[in-house]
Structure 1
Amino acid sequence: MRSIACLVFLVQSLTGFSQNKSVLKLWYNKPSGAVWENALPIGNGRLGAMIYGNVGRETIQLNEQTVWSGGPNRNDNPDALAALPEVRRLVFDGKQKEAEQLANKSILTKKSHGQMFQPVGSLNLTFDGHDTYTNYYRELDIERAVAKTSYTVGDVTYTREVLASFPDNVIVMQLTASKPGKLSFSASFSTQHKPSNSKTSSANELTLSGTTSDHEGVKGMVKFKGITRINTVGGVLLTNDTSLIVKGASAATIYIAIATNFTNYKDLSGDENARAAGYLTKAYAKSFTALLIPHVAAYQHYFNRVRFDLSASAGPRSTASTLVIRCARRPIRCAGRRG
C-alpha cells in the first residue's frame, strides 16, 4: 500500500450553521471596470489571461510565459571569482560591512539586474448598445478553470465563457445570445509594445505581432505572434484593416493562439508565426464543447488530488465541526468540539 503523508489541522472552537455543499466559485455582480486586480485569471501554464467581464467593451488581457523584455545576454560580473576569497575572509573576520561593500562592487552585476515579464497585449471586444444592462453576473469556476459572464440587454441574455486549454494550447471564448441573430460585436488587438503590428488577413484572421522592450541596456529580441479566429453560428463575419466584426449571429467562438521565437535562454531562433498558426489550426477544428471537455479533465487531474472540506455537523447551532482532507482520494477525518 502506498503511504501518503498529509498535514491534518485539528479544528476547534468553530460555531456555524449547517449548509449544503457548494461548488468553488468566485462570483461578482459588478464588472471589473479598469481595475486589473478585479479581473478574473485563467491560464494553462504557458498562456494566461485576465478576464475583466466588462459589458460594452470587454478586455481579455493576454500573457505568454516567454514574453520578456531584453534577450540573451550575460550579466555576471567578471570580477566575482577573484573577489570571492576576500569577501569570505572579511565575513569570517566579522567585517560584514566591508564584505558587503566589496560584494556590491565585485560580485553584483555591472549590467542588467534582470528582465521584465511583459503582457502580450489585449483582445478588446466591443458590443454596441450594451451600455444599459440588468442581471449582471460573473464568476470564476475554480473546480473547472472556466470564467463566465452573463447579463441581459432588453429581453436578450448574453453569456460568455472563456478558458485557457492545456491540451489544445489556446485561449477560447464562447459567446451566446438567448435569441437568434442578436449577437453582434467587433474584436481588435491592442498592445504596449513598440514596434508592433495589428491587422486582419484575407483568411479572416486578426493578428498581432511585435518585439519585446529594451531594458537596462539589453535589446528586446523576443518576437511574439498572436492570431485570433472567430467561428459564428448564423450571422456574418466581416473585416476591416484592424478588426473582425460579427453581425447578427446567435453564437460565436473566439480562438486565440500565441507563440514566440523563444527556444531556450540563449536561443531565439524559433518561428513564432508557424508555432501560433499550428496551435490555432488544430484548435479551430474543434467546437467549444470539444475543447472544454479535455480541458476540464486535464485540470481536474491535478486539482482533485487534494480536497479540504470544512463543514459543520448536523443541527442548527452545532458547536462541533469536522475537517475532511482528501489526499489521493483517501479521506482523513478530524472532529473537534468547543470547550
Structure 2
Amino acid sequence: MRIPHRHQTLTMALLAAVVACHGLTPLCAAVPQPLELWYPAPAKEWTEALPVGNGRVGGMVFGGLASERIQYNEDTLWTGIPRDYAHPGAAAHLDEIRRLLFEGKQREAEQLAMEHFMSVPLRQERYQPFADLLFEFPGHAEAQDYRRALDLDGAVATTRYRVGPATHARTVFASYPDQVLVIRIEADIPGAVSFTVTKKSPHAGAETFRHDDQTLGLRGRVADYTQSRGAEKRPSVLRFESLLQVRNEGGRVRVSDHEITVTDADAVVLILAAATSYKNYHDVSADPDARCRTTLGAVAGKDYSALLAAHQADHRALFRRVSLDLGTTAAAAKPTDMRIAEFAQGEDPQLAALFFQYGRYLLIASSRPGSQPANLQGIWNESLTPAWDSKWTVNINTEMNYWPAEPANLSECHEPLFDLIADVSRTGQSVAREHYDCRGWVLHHNTDIWRGAAPINHSNHGIWPTGGAWLAQHLWYHWQFTGDEEFLRTRAYPILKSAAMFFADYLIEDPRND
C-alpha cells in the first residue's frame, strides 16, 4: 500500500531504525549525545506536534502560546461492534472463481467474488481520536526565547518561553507504569501561572462534567456512522471516558462542568486518565468510569517527581539498551526542521542517528505489553476518518512497524503484535472454513480492533490470503533473537503450524500445466 506523506513519520523512522541497527550491541551507559527534536516555534498543524505515548494513551503536543492544544488518543477507541466478518457459504463459489481466473476471465472472477466471497460487511472499522485538551493562557500571545522539544531519552515534551520577566515551562509525558498522561505547568516567578483548560471531543453527544472539585470529566459513545453516501448506517458500541485531575501549588482552582480555571498558582500538575468499554475483540462490557477512577486512585499518593522518576526509569530501561554514534558536527545545534531541510548537504551525520533513535522512541511510545500494537499511525490520530482507517495493514505496513523490534533490542515492544496474531489466528479459522473450506487460519490484507480476517474492500486486491503467514513470521523472528524455547513451543509453534495447515489445504495445481 502506498503511504501518503502526512503519515510517513512512524513507518520511515522505524525503517531507519532497522536499517541502522544491524551489528549494534546492548549498552547501559548514559546516552553520549543530545537526542532531542526541537523547534523555535509552535506547531501550526497536527503533523508538526510532538508525540508522547505509553503504548495505550498517546498525546500530540502543539506547544502553543496563548492557546495550547494537546490532542490525545486511547488505543481501543474504534468504530464498530464485535462481529465475525466471515461470509457464510463463500467457499461454494471458490472453484468457479478459480476456473474463471485460469481461463483469463479476470473481470468475471472479480464480479463473482464481489457478490459472494467478500467480507460481511465489506469494509472494516476506523481508529478514532479521543479528545483535545484546549488551554488558554491570558497575556501569552507575545513571547520571547521560545523553544519546544521532544527529549527522546527522557521521553518528555517541553515548551519553554518568556513573557515579560517570567519564564514559563510546560512538561508533558505519558507514563507506562502509572498509565496516565501528565502535564506540569510552571513559572519561575511565584503566582505567575493562570490558565483555563477544557476538553473537546469530535464525537457527537460527548459531554464534559464536573467529577469533583479537582477533576473535569468527559464521557461519550462512538456514534453510528455511514461509510459512504447512500450506504446503510453502521452501528458502533464503544463508550469512553477521561478524567483530568488538577493539583495546584498555590493560587486558586475552580472546576465547572466545562472547564478548569487556575489563577495565580506557582505551578500546576494535570493528570489525565482515559479508558473505553473495550475488553477484547468480543467483549465490550468494561466500565470506563471505573477504569479511570482506579487509575487516578493508584496515583493519589504520588507527587510529580515520583511520577516522572517512575516514567523515565521505565522508558530508559528500554531506550538506553542501544547507542548509535555516527559523529556530530555543528549542524546538530540547529533546529530539527532546519537540519532536515539541509540534510542533503551531507554534513549532519548525527541527524541519521537521531532519526534511528526516534524510530525506537516511537515504537516504545506506541507498543507496550498489554496495549494494542502500533497501527498505521502508531497510536496518534486526530481524524474521525483517518487514511486507510488507521488500521493494521498487514501486506507490509504492520510488518514494517515491527521490523526493528528485535534487532533494535525492543523485544518487549513486540508483545502487542503477538497478541494480535493470536487473536486473528482464532478469528481467521472461521474465514478459512467459510471462504476456503480449509483447516487452519487465514488473514487477508487488513485487520481492525475486532480482528477481522476476511477479504475486504474489493476483490481485485482484498483477496490476498497470505497476510497471516507473513505476519506470523514475527513469532519466528522473536525466537531467532531470543532463543526463548518456551515461547516457541507454547505460543509460536501452534500458530505457525495452523497457518501452514491452511496452505496445505488451499494450494492447488495449476490446471494449465502439462
Q: TM-score range by the shorter chain?
A: 0.7 to 0.9
- Which residue matches 1:14? none
Q: 1:139-158 to 2 correspondence within 5 Å? A: 139-158=149-168
Change (3 A) 1:30 1:269: same
Deviation string for 1:269-324 (max 9, x for gaps)? 111100011111212321222111121122122222333221279xxxxx9x9999
- Contact residue 255 and residue 283 of structure 1 kept, 8 A: no
Match of 1:26 in 2: 37
- Equivalent residue pairs, number: 306
Q: Distance in 1 between matches of 2:165 and 2:145?
A: 11
Task: Indicate the residue corresponding to 2:322 in structure 1.
Answer: 306
1:96/1:169 CA distance change after superposition, 3 Å = same
CA RMSD of aligned residues (A): 2.6
1:231·1:252 contact (CA, 8 Å) conserved in 2?
yes
Which amino acid counterpart does residue 83 of structure 2 have in structure 1?
N
* 1:7 maps onto 2:51 in alignment: no
TM-score scaled by structure 2? 0.56
Is 1:173–1:254's contact at 8 Å kept on the other side of the alignment?
yes
Q: Which residue of the partner structure matches residue 38 of structure 1?
A: 48
Structure 2 distance, partners of 1:260, 1:112, is 26
For residue 262 of structure 1, give the secondary structure of its aligned residue in structure 2.
coil
The aligned counterpart of 2:296 is 280
Q: Report the CA distance between 1:183 and its aligned residue.
A: 0.5
1:164 aligns with 2:174: yes
Alignment partner of 1:56 is 2:66:
yes
Q: Distance in 2 between matches of 1:110 and 1:241?
A: 42
Matched, 1:249 2:259: no
Percent of paired sites with the same residue: 36
Normalising by the residue count of structure 1, what TM-score does the alignment of the two structures yield? 0.83
> Do 2:186 and 2:193's aligned partners in 1 also have CA atoms closer than 8 Å?
yes
CA apart distance, 1:236: 1.2
Max Rg structure: 1
For 2:43, the aligned partner's letter is S
SS in 2 for 1:31: coil
Decide whether the 8 Å contact of 2:222 with 2:237 is kept in 1: yes
Amino acid in the other structure paired with 1:296: Q
Q: Aligned-pair distance for 1:187?
A: 1.3
Letter of the structure 2 residue corresponding to residue 155 of structure 1: P
Q: 1:187 aligns with which of 197, 201, 208?
A: 197
1:110 and 1:261, CA in 2 relative to 1: closer, same or farther beyond 3 A?
closer
Answering whether residue 95 of structure 2 is matched by residue 85 of structure 1, we say yes
Out of 275, 279, 285, which is 1:259 matched to?
275
What's the secondary structure of 1:193's corresponding residue? Answer: coil
Letter in 2 for 1:71: I
Q: Distance in 1 between matches of 2:312 and 2:113?
A: 50
Q: For residue 209 of structure 1, what is the aligned residue in structure 2?
A: 219
- Note the residue ranges of structure 2 that are not aligned, 5 or more in a row: 1-20, 25-31, 227-232, 330-346, 357-406, 410-514
Letter in 1 for 2:80: G
Residues 302 and 88 of structure 1, relative CA distance in 2, 3 Å threshold: farther
Distance 1:39 1:232 in 2: 26
Q: Structure 2: which amino acid aligns with 1:38?
A: E
State the match for 2:425 in structure 1. none
59-68 or 285-294: bigger deviation: 285-294
User: Is the aligned partner of 1:115 residue 2:131?
Assistant: no
Per-residue Cα deviation, 1:46-84 (whole angstroms, up to 9, x for no partner): 000100100111111010001001222333322422122
Distance 2:314 2:241 in 1: 26
CA contact under 8 A between 1:49 and 1:61: conserved in structure 2? yes
Counterpart code for 1:31:
P
Conserved 8 A contact 2:43-2:62:
yes
Quote the residue 2:137 is aligned against.
127
Looking at structure 1, the residues matched to 88 and 278 of structure 2 have their Cα atoms a distance apart, in angstroms, of 27
Q: Is the 8 A contact 2:213 2:254 kept in 1?
A: no
Counterpart-to-counterpart distance in 2, 1:226 and 1:193? 13
The aligned amino acid for 1:25 is E
| 1:92 Cα deviation after fit | 3.9
Change (3 A) 1:241 1:110: closer
Deviation digits for residues 139-176 of structure 1, max 9, x if unmatched?
Answer: 00111211000011000000000100000000001111
Structure with a larger share of its residues in helix: 2
Contact 2:55 2:176 in 1 (8 A): yes
The 3 A distance-change label for structure 1 pair 8 and 145 is same
Q: Following TM superposition, by how much is the alpha carbon of 1:94 offset from its aligned partner in structure 2, in angstroms?
A: 4.2
Q: How many angstroms apart in 1 are the aligned matches of 2:122 and 2:142?
A: 49
Partner Cα distance (1:83, 1:118) in 2: 36
CA distance in 2, matches of 1:140, 1:63: 18
1:307/1:327 contact within 8 Å kept: no
Q: 1:282 to 1:108 in 2, by over 3 A?
A: same
Structure holding more strand per residue: 1
- Alpha-carbon contact 1:73-1:218 (below 8 Å) kept: no
